[in-house]
Structures are given as structure tokens and as C-alpha cells.
Structure 1
Amino acid sequence: MMSLTTTIFREGAITPDTIATCLQQYATDQSIGGYSCFIGQVRADIVNGNTVTAIEYTTYREMAETAVRDIATQIQQQYALTAVEVLHSLGTVAAGGICLLVLTAAPHRKAAMQACDLLVERIKAEVPIWGKEILNENDYQWKVNQ
């Protein structure tokens, strides 16, 4: 049975404690043989000579939550996952801050790893989330997912 957090989006950076709590909730599930976890962090990229100091994330929340749940359900069925968790930041996340957590669990590691990779790719490609890169010279540019 798939589990997905009730609240996918949260304001600000995702904390290490939140990640630990997310993982800990499955510690007693003896059907799980492997986990895969992707943790996305805001990079201090150089853009036209300026450094990215933060990313400000926005979304159409209801539409995005529906899209994430639909994608997660499809992938859960495809890979027979025991659990799926997705957390994504909204608002401003400073460079070095964690902005995305994707966790998959399955009876076997290979399924968990392949599912996690596919889930991250589909979220980046299909979910209406926008990132405005804040630059150090009081400038910004809209981030393009790659």
C-alpha cells in the first residue's frame, strides 16, 4: 500500500529532521527491503557573472498536488512500491537549503531506485512548479528545469 504525505508542499527549506522523520515512519515495516532517496539542494550557480543566492518557488498548489499524487500512484503501481513520499519547498530557499525530498520504498532495492529516479524526472517535467533564481546583484531569472 502506498503512503504519501498529506502535505506535499511546505514553506521554506526542508530540514534534516523532517527527512529523518519521513524515513523513520517506515522503520518497522518488515516488507521493505530497500529505500531510495533523492534530496534536492539549491545550488549557488553562477548566472551571467552573478551568484544564485536563493530560489523562490511558486506553484498552483491544488493542481500541483494532484499532479504529484497522480504521478506517484502510477509509479507506485508500476514498481510495486511499499511507500512513496514527496516534499517540495515553496517560498524562498537559500543556496545550500534542501528544496525537494523524494523517498521510495519497496521489497527490493532495484525497484525503489528506479522508481525514485523516474519520480524525480516526472515531477521536474510535469508538475507546475516555478523557481525564480534570486541573484546577488538584486536581479533574478526564472529557472528552467533540466
Structure 2
Amino acid sequence: MNRKPKNIFVQGPISSEKIAQSIQNHSTKTNIGAHSIFLGQVRADEKEGSTVTAIEYTTYEEMALQKAFEIREAIFAKYDLTCMHIYHSLGEVKVGEICLFVFTSSKHRKMAIDACEELVERIKKELPVWGKELMENGESWKVNT
């Protein structure tokens, strides 16, 4: 297959409608036996006497899309997947809202689960996306762990 970089970015939070529609779009693909889904949600962390109210995500889009493409290709090469989708928020995402949606599909559950887990870890570690935590009384840059 000759794949091209896809735009993985969504302005603001990822809606439950987008998540539901993405799942529904696969119901006609009868060679899929399993989906594994990861949803990253913004937490109300306590930091230095203040509570996080939102995270503002920024990126250098061209670089990030190229890196996402490289990660996708590596995961497709390693795992026998039918489909793989990555959606990451840009801009402000409030506490309780979804900022990352990763979705892998394959014939068997172990392949989908293992691929999804590795994909999430690589995104968190390698994708050049930065989050500024907006707090009740200030802001600070988030460090991924």
C-alpha cells in the first residue's frame, strides 16, 4: 500500500460523535474481529496549590504530521492491522474532554490491543505536540510521562 501522511489534528476536544462515527464506519468491514481504542482525557491535576482547568495543545504541524506518519508506518509493518486511526487535539481542551483518540483494528484482539498500546506510547514519547496547562491562577508547560 502506498500511504500518505494524514491530518491527525482536530481543533479543540474530540467529540463523542466523532468517536462513535469512527467506530460505526467500520461495521461494514467484515474481516475485522477486534478493535482496541484508547481515549486520552484531560485531568484536573493539582499543581502548586492550583487546579488544572484545561490544556492548550500546540505543535509544529508539518513536523508532527511527518512523525505521525513514520510511527503509523512502523506500527503497520510490525502488526497485522486492518485499520489504524489517530486523532489529537490542538488548541484548548477543558478538563473532562477527550484530547487523544487512538483506534486500531485487526482480525484478532491481541494484535489490536498490542498495536494500540505501542501506538499510544510512541505518540506520547515521540510526537512533537506540547501542552500548556491552564490553571486557576496561572499556567505551566506539561511534561509527558
- TM-score interval (norm. to shorter): over 0.9
Show the counterpart of 1:141. 140
Residue 91 of structure 2 is matched in structure 1 by 91
Post-superposition shift, 1:103? 0.1
Name the amino acid aligned to 1:74. A
Instruction: Supply the distance in 2 between the matched residues of 1:5 and 1:117 (Cα, whole angstroms).
Output: 21
Distance across 2 between alignment mates of 1:82 and 1:68: 18
State the distance in 1 between where 2:143 and 2:136 align.
19
Which runs of 5 or more structure 1 residues have no equivalent in the other structure? none
Point out where structure 2 has 5 or more consecutive residues left out of the alignment: none
Aligned pairs (5 A) from 1:1-146: 6-137=6-137, 139-146=138-145
Cα shift readout 1:88-140 (whole Å, capped 9, x = no counterpart): 00000000110000000001000000000000000010010000000101x11
**How many residues are treated as equivalent by the alignment?**
145
**In 2: Cα distance, 1:129 partner to 1:18 partner:** 21
- RMSD across aligned positions (CA): 1.7
Alignment partner of 1:82: what SS? strand
- Separation in 2, partners of 1:132, 1:49: 17
Q: Which amino acid aligns with 1:90?
A: L
Which whole-Å CA distance do the structure 2 matches of 1:5 and 1:112 have between them? Answer: 21
Q: Which runs of 4+ in 1 moved over 3 A?
A: 1-6
State the identity %.
49
TM-score (norm 1): 0.95
Question: Aligned partners of 1:85 and 1:45: how far apart in 2?
Answer: 28
In 2, Cα distance between the equivalents of 1:49 and 1:130? 23
SS in 1 for 2:81: coil
TM-score normalised by the chain length of structure 2: 0.95
Deviation at 1:44, TM superposition (A): 0.3
